[in-house]
Amino acid sequence: MNYYILTEEVFETINKNNVHFMRKSIDRTERLVATTDLISDRVRSFQTIETCSNYTFTNHSDWVGDKTGIEIEELEEGGYIPTIDD
């Protein structure tokens, strides 16, 4: 699995069938995704699921807003429903 932060515009171009997890940033300009695709046009990439999760805790005001972050378990369980894309 690959973990990225993408702009909204790039997210719209990727294959949603390969997205396992997606969370919009609080300001809705970026998306954190877990995907099987390799994406070169990204804001940030993460080497591991742990570094991805840790980033959201460090930058919680961008992703969660309640001084927590996205747990590894949440990333593993998935959380992208392609029919609900708001």
**Domain for residue 44, yes or no?**
yes
Give a yes or no: residue 83 inside a domain: no
Q: Which residue do the tokens 């742990």 mark?
A: 50
The CA distance from 9 to 50, in Å, is 26
Q: Residue 63 sits in which domain range?
A: 2-77
Residue 85: inside a domain = no
Q: State pLDDT tens for residues 27-76.
A: 999 999 999 999 999 999 999 999 999 999 998 888 888 889 999 999 99
For residue 54, give the amino acid letter: N
Number of domains in the chain: 1
What's the predicted TM-score (pTM) here?
A: 0.87
Any domain includes 62: yes
With respect to residue 86, please indicate whether it lies within any of the assigned structural domains. Answer: no
